[in-house]
Structure 1
Amino acid sequence: MPQISEGLDCLKIISGERDMLTKIHLQNLKERIKRMPLSEKYFLNVTKDCNSYRSRRKFISYSMSKEEEEFPIAYSMVIDEKIEMFERLLRSIYAPQNIYCVHVDSESPVPFQQAVRGIASCFSNVFLASKLEKVVYASWSRVQADLNCMKDLLGSNVQWEYLLNTCETDFPLKTNAEIVKALKILKGKNSLESVKTPADKMSRWLFHHEIGKTVIRTNIQKTLPPVDVPIFSGGPYFVVTREFVKHILRDSLIDKFFTWEQDTYSPDEHLWATLNRMPGVPGSMPHHEKYDVSDLHSIARVVKFSFHEGDVSKGASYPHCTGSHQYFICIYGCGDLQWLVKQHHLFASKFDPSVDDMAIQCLEEYLRNNTLYKTET
């Protein structure tokens, strides 16, 4: 694991101590361009000796509790770049009883793909998806990547209970033991954002879109969707049961819905939300508005959008981002950690070591300490 910079105290950072946050801010300004991320070449070399690699990178090698051992979790990990960030994410959620399907963009650079394969080769429960997609931003291919992993995960020997999806800008806020407890509390329900579609997002599925290197809206109106519930709005992240996955891959009506969705814009931001409101879908909720679930009420992912940031005492959804923004989304800094670790969400997005590597380091330390010293037997 990366070494914590001298003089910096993660406990104080996560506690929100002002002097320490000022110190880390100044250090980030000095070191942002200094630290080079671990390269594809590094991982190709180090994974030649898997025993040494797993030990050196401090992967958990045994189930930490009987409860965790008896409740395996599946992960779909869709990635396309930043090999070190992927590996740090994998290490932070890794447990030997779980199973991990990694979908690499088929057009990712060859060294990146080779490095991912090298990492996966060192674990019996980590594998690359059997079918890789060229992932175009905001297109169906992003959904298809998760579907490919769903099929592979169902075909594995691991009888996992829930499926969670991630990308390389995510990082967990909970240990595996805490995730297991949170999933058990759901009692077979799914957890994801699903709300009435805002008027400004309806064009995403009302019109036909051409899919090329980008997604372009046309003026051609689409046919009505082949489902009997409204189209709901949500996010690309989900926490769903094994029975949910089985159902959506085998139901003929949902298969038609998949086909209908393939020329929409950002289908991952309305497909999962709608599936989880359909009658008969395992773990779903009724489609009455009283069952709407916002992103802040689901447990799948906490994301800070710049237009909802501000003074919480005056009505803002969450405090200001202390890192930076990309497409109106906060890339977290150390000053966000005190707020983040108090949230009930399992994961947060986005993190980027080039913006604030210390934020990731401190989360790694926080999770490792909780894993080793707070896990019940």
Structure 2
Amino acid sequence: MWPLRYACRLLKPICILCCLLLMLSLLTDHKIRWDPTYILRYSWLDYDDADAGPEKVCNCSAILQGDGEAVDQAKLLAITKDFRKRVQIPDEYYISATKDCWEFKSSKKYLTFPLSKEEEDFPLAYSIVVHHKVQNFERLLRAIYAPQNLYCVHVDNKSEPSVLSAISAISSCFPNVFMVSEAVTVVYAGWSRVQADLNCMADLYNADTKWKYFINLCGQDFPLKTNLEIVRALRSLKGGNSLESEKLPEEKRWRVEKSHQVVDGHIQAIGKKKEPPPFNLPILSGNAYIVVNRGYIRSLLEDEKIKALIEWAKDTYSPDEVIWATIQRVPGVPGSTWPNSKYDMTDINAIARLVKWEWHEGSLGSMAAVYPKCHGNHVRAICVYGAGDLQWLLAQHHLFANKFDVDMDPFAIYCLERYLRKKALLAGNQG
């Protein structure tokens, strides 16, 4: 059965108006102006307090504007044990809720139709590599979901059975979301991290939908842009790719000069020197996350030179931090750039992913810092964003950011997903 709020909205116009009036106070969110046509079309897809959990006590509008008092209140709640427990959703919930896919999609307000012709004509392909935190994954999927796009989901073979069951159940509710045809056991800094994406790339490339661009994600990523904004950013690339690709630092050369293998679930050197890369290809440095066109993926799967490079890289350390960056500089790869150092691109200049590394943070006005200090916590020197990071994040040009974690700061995702949904619906009304 439909939830009462949906029956109310569809069957009783007076009740609809009452519900919408309650939403007007939310229309002052960061940089969004109210449009009267919003009430007439997509407002039923907006998030409101009826959809929210305990996070609704925060003032997202103030947080997005950088209000210190609102940020401090959210930060205090985020570290409260009782509050953190209340926002957690067990894996079993998703297994049960998705038994009725129609109700699940309706109650979660998935966008099941394109919001614009522009988006419909520019389908995207996503690879999402996950190993835990189902709630994070579901909210990420909901934030980027559009029916014209394709989504390949890779769940690590060593994940808990409940994680695999829940994510499989969620994916089964959508015709354009599917589990990868061949999952692997992912080892940190090993080749398997690359293989997980390669397997999804192959599945996506062989699908019927002729998507335009590929974006790879992990379960703790979250978008900073709406689907329409992502489409427009990719159109502006004019067929180019956007990913970190720069000279390999001397202190990291050992990663590609010595052979490594997985021993007891960990990657380690085996005391053997590697042969030089095939075709004398210069090895570049980058990261695991990329925004690339369909031709780039075709090269990975079909080009003999690229396939030789892939074979060579399989026993390197952290190959995801060299393989995509190196392929991006191979002449002839669609969307690539020349290997000359003048074409080097940092992660700050690329639009693929925004990550705050602890050693690059600094106080306001610091000449050495790359970005302001993290308002959340650090995990392996990476900032897990807090609500106080949102104002800065939304001012950047990147399409996605990493990391977000509902268990550490639920308000960062809560406010961001509401901001993006409202922005998407307002743009849809104006289209």
Q: TM-score under structure 2 normalisation?
A: 0.85
CA contact (8 A) 1:211 1:263 kept: no
Instruction: Report SS of the residue matched to 1:5.
Output: helix
1:13 to 60, 63, 82: 63
Alignment-derived partner of residue 58 in structure 1: 109
1:41 Cα offset (Å): 1.0
Alignment-derived partner of residue 110 in structure 1: 161
Alignment-derived partner of residue 316 in structure 2: 264
Alignment-derived partner of residue 189 in structure 2: 138
1:26 Cα offset (Å): 1.7
2: CA distance, partners of 1:8 / 1:25: 10
2: CA distance, partners of 1:198 / 1:60: 44
1:106 Cα offset (Å): 1.7
1:32 Cα offset (Å): 5.3
1: CA distance, partners of 2:293 / 2:87: 39
Alignment-derived partner of residue 97 in structure 1: 148
1:328-374 deviation line (CA, Å, top 9, x unaligned)? 11000011000000000000000111110011100011111111113
- Whichever residue aligns with residue 294 of structure 1, its letter is T
- Whichever residue aligns with residue 289 of structure 2, its letter is Y
2: CA distance, partners of 1:7 / 1:259: 52
1:92-116 deviation line (CA, Å, top 9, x unaligned)? 0000000000011122222211111
1:2 Cα offset (Å): 3.7
Unpaired segments ≥5 residues, structure 2: 1-50
2: CA distance, partners of 1:140 / 1:114: 25
Instruction: Report SS of the residue matched to 2:118.
Output: helix
Establish whether residue 67 from structure 1 lines up as the match of residue 142 from structure 2. Answer: no
Among all aligned residue pairs of Structure 1 and Structure 2, give the percentage whose two residues are the same amino acid.
Answer: 47
1:61 Cα offset (Å): 1.0
1:190 to 241, 262, 265: 241
Alignment-derived partner of residue 148 in structure 1: 199
Deviates more, 1:74-83 or 1:102-111: 102-111
1:37-91 deviation line (CA, Å, top 9, x unaligned)? 2222111111111100000111101100000000000000111111111111000
Instruction: Report SS of the residue matched to 2:325.
Output: helix
Establish whether residue 353 from structure 1 lines up as the match of residue 353 from structure 2. Answer: no
1:312 Cα offset (Å): 4.5
Instruction: Report SS of the residue matched to 2:125.
Output: strand
Deviates more, 1:308-317 or 1:116-125: 308-317
Establish whether residue 364 from structure 1 lines up as the match of residue 414 from structure 2. Answer: no
2: CA distance, partners of 1:312 / 1:196: 29
Alignment-derived partner of residue 166 in structure 1: 217
1: CA distance, partners of 2:54 / 2:424: 18
Instruction: Report SS of the residue matched to 2:233.
Output: helix
2: CA distance, partners of 1:24 / 1:350: 18
- Whichever residue aligns with residue 207 of structure 1, its letter is K
Q: How does 1:267-346 map to 2 (within 5 A)?
A: 267-315=319-367, 316-346=369-399
Alignment-derived partner of residue 290 in structure 2: 238
CA contact (8 A) 1:103 1:128 kept: yes
1:303-349 deviation line (CA, Å, top 9, x unaligned)? 00010000252221000001000111100001100000000000000
2: CA distance, partners of 1:124 / 1:342: 34
Instruction: Report SS of the residue matched to 1:75.
Output: strand
CA contact (8 A) 2:129 2:197 kept: yes
1:4 Cα offset (Å): 5.9
Structure having the higher Rg = 2
1:113-151 deviation line (CA, Å, top 9, x unaligned)? 111111111100000010111111111111011110111
2: CA distance, partners of 1:346 / 1:237: 11
1:3 Cα offset (Å): 3.1
Deviates more, 1:237-246 or 1:24-33: 24-33
2: CA distance, partners of 1:137 / 1:318: 26
Instruction: Report SS of the residue matched to 2:320.
Output: helix
2: CA distance, partners of 1:339 / 1:177: 21
Unpaired segments ≥5 residues, structure 1: none
- Whichever residue aligns with residue 130 of structure 2, its letter is I
